[in-house]
Amino acid sequence: MTDARHIEAQIYERLSKVIDPELGRSITDLGMIAAINAVGVTSQGDGDVPSYDVTVHVELTVEGCPLSQTITNQINGAIVSYPDAKLTPHIEVSSMSHDKLADLVAGLKAERKQNPFNKPGVKTRIFAIASGKGGVGKSSVSANLAATFAALGYDTAAIDADIYGFSLPKLFGVHTQPTNLNGMLMPVTAWGVKLISIGMFAGADRAILWRGPRLQRSLEQFLSDVWWGDPDVLLLDLAPGTGDMAISVAQALPNAELVVVTTPQPSASDIAVRSGLVALQVPMKVRGVVENMSWYEHKGERLEIFGAGGGRRVSDQLTETLGYDVPLLAQLPLDPDLREVGESGRPAVLNEDGALRSDALGRTFRELAEGLLRSE
């Protein structure tokens, strides 16, 4: 093998460690590296270190791939960090042919013929965020909890299963549709979280008028027709109450764990208990309770605007009825930042750079996320 061919083989090996951010697979396994050409050049001032121009022909899955620059940067890094020669990278980017893309998608779909989260040995932790009624901040809790998991380094996915009242796209600042690869959807990634929502297709100003069977089918499509990879954590933002979607989630994801969100006042907490009692009729464990809007901080004083004790009441009643411990996992303040920052398209628990806040709110969500991941 000539030196140039040896360099090409070594570079191909190094590129096998570059992972496509959407598909979660090596770019070599996906067939994205069409060719590598190394040409020796006369070194100038580098002593005995051999020098090569290395041209890599990259075929992306779609033209204008939004992650093209990310992949290109990783390829450049893999080349210039080669230790035994001075390599100058030249990256030529194109898109796969229709036939090649069809073959790739067919192979990926063959691996995911059914719901990938309902198979033996799946390590993804699944949390379904529920509430008895609307207006208690369930979606805000879902968005900030997902963002917290991602900020802590977990591969995180979130499904907006609140078909009628979808809000995750707005809370994450998403205004684009998922990429469609020959019928397989790539979730949109925002603030480190892979997202899918009916709102990405319907538009924010459109009412969804679906009944039971179609609701169930929408969840099945979100689970099996979207390429999630192998996330560490999957969150589902459920619709309020105990309707069709909650039952569909329990049937499709029997290993999911329910997290009930309530506010302190009895009118909310009494209804929240009902959402947890779904576990009596379907194979789903209630992991715990989150009390939102517990207090408002005003001049150093905590004002309990909505009363007190709702989260504890829900926890105690579910523990007694279900026959196992359903703890009060967290109490969250009524914080204007949660609304103002969240409405701007950034989960309030994150700083502008995407890092987890280090204040009381950040610590509370960190403790909530870490607590949920502890084995029961």
pLDDT in tens, 27-64: 888 888 999 998 888 765 555 778 888 999 998 887 77
Residue 328 has pLDDT above 60, yes or no: yes
Please tell me whether residues 237 and 147 are part of one structural domain: yes
| CA neighbor of 7 nearest in space, from 115, 109, 107, 80 | 80
Same domain assignment for residues 138 and 234: yes
91 pLDDT higher than 70: yes
Check whether residue 156 and residue 26 sit in a common domain.
no
Does some domain include residue 112?
no
The span from the CA of 312 to the CA of 146, in Å, is 24
pLDDT, residue 215, reads 55
- Host domain of residue 91: 3-96
Euclidean distance between CA atoms 125 and 279, whole angstroms: 17
Q: What is the pLDDT of residues 126-177, one digit of tens each?
A: 999 988 877 888 899 999 999 999 999 999 999 988 777 788 989 999 888 8
Q: Report pLDDT for 243.
A: 63
Is residue 166 within 8 A of residue 199, CB to CB? The reply is: yes
Q: Give mean pLDDT, residues 256-285.
A: 82
Same domain, 229 and 340: yes
Q: What is the pLDDT of residues 238-265, one digit of tens each?
A: 888 766 666 677 777 878 899 999 988 8
Q: 298-308 pLDDT, tens per residue?
A: 877 888 888 88
- The answer to whether position 117 is within a domain reads no
Question: What is the three-state SS of 303-337?
Answer: ECCCCCCHHHHHHHHHHHHHCCCCCEEEECCCCHH
Residue 196 lies in a domain: yes
- Considering only the C-alpha atoms of the chain, give the largest distance between any 2 of them, rounded to a whole number of Å: 79
Q: Does 319 lie in the same domain as 274? A: yes
With pLDDT > 70 as the criterion, what percentage of the chain qualifies?
A: 90
324 and 213 together in one domain: yes
CB 359 within 8 A of CB 168: no
pTM here? 0.77
Distances (CA, A) of 3 to 49, 353, 367: 13, 44, 54
Q: Is residue 105 one of the residues assigned to a domain?
A: no
CATH number at residue 12: 3.30.300.130
What is the distance, to the nearest Å, from the Cα of residue 54 to the centroid of all Cα atoms in its chain?
Answer: 36
User: Has residue 109 been placed in a domain?
Assistant: no
Domain count, the chain: 2
Is the pLDDT at 312 greater than 50, yes or no? Answer: yes
More confident residue, 115 or 73: 73
Does residue 349 share a domain with residue 215?
yes
- 266: domain CATH number? 3.40.50.300
Q: Are residues 290 and 145 in the same domain?
A: yes
User: What integer best gives the mean pLDDT of the chain?
Assistant: 83
Whether 260 contacts 131, CB under 8 Å: yes
Same domain flag for 86 and 156: no
pLDDT surpassing 80 at residue 280:
no
Lowest mean pLDDT segment, chosen from 29-33, 70-74, 90-94, 212-216: 212-216
Confidence of residue 207 (pLDDT cuts 50, 70, 90): very low
The verdict on residue 110 lying in a domain is no
Q: Is 131 inside any structural domain?
A: yes
Q: What pLDDT is recorded for position 364?
A: 93
Instruction: Give domain status of residue 51, yes or no.
Output: yes
pLDDT at 351 over 90: yes
Q: Are residues 339 and 252 in the same domain?
A: yes
114 confidence band (pLDDT: 50, 70, 90): low
Cα separation of 145 and 292, whole Å?
Answer: 13
16: Cβ–Cβ under 8 A, 6 or more apart, which residues? 26, 27, 28, 29
Which residues of the chain form beta strands (DSSP E)? 33-41, 51-60, 86-95, 125-131, 156-161, 179-181, 184-186, 188-190, 193-197, 233-238, 257-262, 285-291, 296-298, 301-303, 328-331
184 and 227, same structural domain?
A: yes
